[in-house]
């Protein structure tokens, strides 16, 4: 039932694009919906938790050393737990799409002024990366 998670993720992306904030309420809403719609027959709790923990550690490192927002980290951890399959190829595809979309969005926001510091909302890139990853699955 991934279809129920995508509108919430889209809503989070719009809010992040406008305000540069991802609220805890929005992440909790996504997590509760993910938990309510999980397919128990095909859900491997151990593998999903392992993937989510790896994503959490990498996300925390990116937050500390690269300035990625904690809202983005929490959002990706929830996606790792409930939506994205735990295979490495899935995360490689997801990361590539998120990076490319975020780069393109940064170019758009900077309007060609490359020396200008730009705050990039990552939730729209995460939204696009999730959709493309699920389609390519």
Average the pLDDT over each of 73-77, 87-91, 108-112 and give the range with the smallest value: 108-112
Distance from the Cα of residue 87 to its chain's centroid: 16
Nearest of 55, 57, 72 to residue 125 by alpha carbon: 72
Sign of CA dihedral 111, 67, 23, 72: positive
Higher pLDDT, 6 or 113: 6
**pLDDT greater than 60 at residue 1:** no
In the chain, the percentage of residues whose pLDDT exceeds 70 is 96
SS3 readout for 53-70 = HHHHHHHHHHHHHHCCCH
What rounded mean pLDDT belongs to the chain? 90
> Domain map of the chain by residue range?
2-136
**Helix, strand, coil: what percent of the chain each, to 5?**
75, 0, 25
**pLDDT greater than 90 at residue 60:** yes
The tokens for 89 are 């190829």
Amino acid 42: pLDDT: 84
């Amino acid at each position: 039932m991934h279809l129920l998670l995508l509108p919430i993720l889209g809503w989070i992306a719009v809010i992040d694009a406008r305000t540069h904030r991802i609220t805890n309420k929005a992440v909790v809403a996504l997590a509760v919906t993910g938990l309510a719609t999980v397919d128990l027959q095909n859900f491997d709790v151990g593998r999903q938790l392992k993937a989510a923990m790896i994503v959490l550690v990498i996300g925390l490192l990116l937050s500390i050393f690269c300035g990625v927002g904690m809202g983005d980290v929490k959002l990706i951890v929830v996606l790792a737990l409930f939506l994205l399959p735990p295979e490495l190829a899935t995360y490689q595809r997801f990361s590539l799409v998120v990076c490319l979309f975020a780069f393109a969005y940064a170019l758009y926001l900077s309007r060609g002024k490359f020396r200008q510091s730009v705050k990039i909302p990552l939730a729209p890139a995460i939204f696009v990366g999730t959709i493309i990853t699920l389609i390519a699955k």
